[in-house]
Amino acid sequence: MNKNNLIYLDNNSTTRVDPRVFDAMAPYFHELYGNPSSPHRYGLEASIAVEASRLMIKKLFGIEDRELYFTSSATESINIAIMGTAFANFSIKKHLITQATEHPAVLEVFKSLESLGFRTTVLDVDGQGFVDPQAIKNAIEPDTLLVSIMAANNEIGTLQDLVSIGKICEETEVLFHSDLTQAAGRYDFNVSEIKLDMISGGAHKIHGPKGIGYLGLNKTTKKIRINPLMYGGGQENGLSPGTLNVPLIVGLSKALEICEENRTGETEFLNGLRQLFFTTLTENIEGVHLNGPGIRLLNNLSLRFDNISSNDLINGIKTLAFSAGSACATGEGKPSHVLRAIGLNDSQIKSTARFGFSRFNSGHEILTAANEIVNFIKLKRK
């Protein structure tokens, strides 16, 4: 709980910066503030920090050579991966495949490409949000360039079967991109084992700073032709030009490092919190339904409550911070495309709330939060 007495349960939207991340970043704001491209000692110190961060992240994902680039967000990384390869291969291949519950950072790029003359296939998902790898295989055509499938869904926590999809993309020689934004740091992703060709992610879902992302390219098996979307000073091999944001890069690698070091303990801890929250609700009120699969993104829960709208819940319980569906969808006031894709009707979508847990939540907070919801719903249903 913070000083406003507000319990934060919106950790799929963004997370609090870990104090260890903040401490690692701090010197790069006020002492080591050089531009990594500069030839003097300030530049060298900044450049050493950037390259150490790059090395750490490359190792984490099993990326060889120099092919890990820093971007300003996961969104930018996804745009470069999909649009950049589409533009570079336009004269040869014009078909791209994704699935219906991707983040708008993917779906909107697909729409834009469609308007520019590419052909796109957006595959349906089942009632728990899974895309069938066989459907991907069937959708691949001779001029299919790329398949983009997220690792973990930000609303309903579905973990896609990247291994099976990777095999299909390897056999068919189609590029395989994955948006790892919600899942990196929480699970193991070795690009060669999963046969991933491109990965995108960011820092702020795992207690790192906002405004920093990464694009990883795995060029060991396939040739990846990719164009920049912006032009400038040539930083990051020309793919993401602009002066590097050294403190944020350091924060990103520190955030990933902390996740990696504490993975087992944190997995247990978050599972425990989520279970406590879920059982407290289901044992005390009727009509609580889980959206998405039982085995799901570690820190995510999407629930709907019969005859209770999530807006009533959010506005009625002022001591809890959580969201209706997803932050992005609610910001626009549109019904969630993810909940729609898994077959929910309007009233089910309206009654859906998303809860995201983190290392900074305590068991006591979770119990308090669940009891407040129980009490509110009991009163509302009287």
Verify binding: residue 297, ligand PLP, rule CB under 6 A.
Answer: no
Nearest to 242 by CA among 75, 30, 80, 71: 71
- Secondary structure element (H or E) that encloses residue 300, with its range: strand 300-305
Verify binding: residue 150, ligand PLP, rule CB under 6 A.
Answer: yes
| Exposure letters 323-362 (e unless 16+ CB within 10 A, then b) | bbbbbbbbeeeebbbbbbbbebeeebbbbbbbbbbbbebe
Q: Could you say which of 9, 32, 60, 105 contacts ligand PLP (CB under 6 A)?
A: 105
- 350 phi and psi angles, rounded to 5 deg: -65, -25
Verify binding: residue 81, ligand PLP, rule CB under 6 A.
Answer: no
Tell me the closest approach of the beta carbon of residue 316 to ligand PLP, in angstroms.
Answer: 25
Verify binding: residue 93, ligand PLP, rule CB under 6 A.
Answer: no
Between residues 50 and 199, which has the closer beta carbon with respect to ligand PLP? Answer: 199
Q: Is 169 assigned a catalytic role?
A: no
Number of residues lying near ligand PLP (CB under 6 A): 13
Between residues 180 and 285, which has the closer beta carbon with respect to ligand PLP? Answer: 180
Q: Could you say which of 74, 248, 308, 349 contacts ligand PLP (CB under 6 A)?
A: 74
N- to C-terminal Cα separation, the chain: 30
Q: Could you say which of 11, 15, 75, 302 contacts ligand PLP (CB under 6 A)?
A: 75
Q: At what angle do helices 246-261 and 263-284 cross, to 10 degrees?
A: 80
Q: Of residues 202-241, which lie at the interface with ligand PLP (CB under 6 A)? A: 202, 204
Q: What is the contact mask toward ligand PLP in residues 164 to 203, using x (rule: CB under 6 A)?
A: ---------------x-xx-------------------x-
Which segments of the chain does DSSP mark as H helices, in order?
Answer: 19-25, 27-30, 41-61, 74-88, 104-115, 133-139, 162-172, 191-194, 246-261, 263-284, 310-316, 327-332, 337-341, 346-350, 363-381
Q: Tell me the residue length of the chain.
A: 382
Between residues 252 and 258, which has the closer beta carbon with respect to ligand PLP? Answer: 252
Q: Of residues 336-365, which lie at the interface with ligand PLP (CB under 6 A)? A: none
Catalytic pick among 328, 360, 368, 374: 328
User: What six digits make up the tokens of 208?
Assistant: 């790192």
Tell me the closest approach of the beta carbon of residue 226 to ligand PLP, in angstroms.
Answer: 19
Tell me the closest approach of the beta carbon of residue 95 to ligand PLP, in angstroms.
Answer: 23
Verify binding: residue 158, ligand PLP, rule CB under 6 A.
Answer: no
User: What six digits make up the tokens of 45?
Assistant: 């110190």
How far CA 272 is from CA of 260, 266, 300, in Å, comes to: 19, 10, 12
Between residues 56 and 327, which has the closer beta carbon with respect to ligand PLP? Answer: 327
- 64 phi and psi angles, rounded to 5 deg: -95, 175
Catalytic residues: 328
Contacts with ligand PLP, residue ranges (CB under 6 A) = 73-75, 103, 105, 150, 154, 179, 181-182, 202, 204, 328
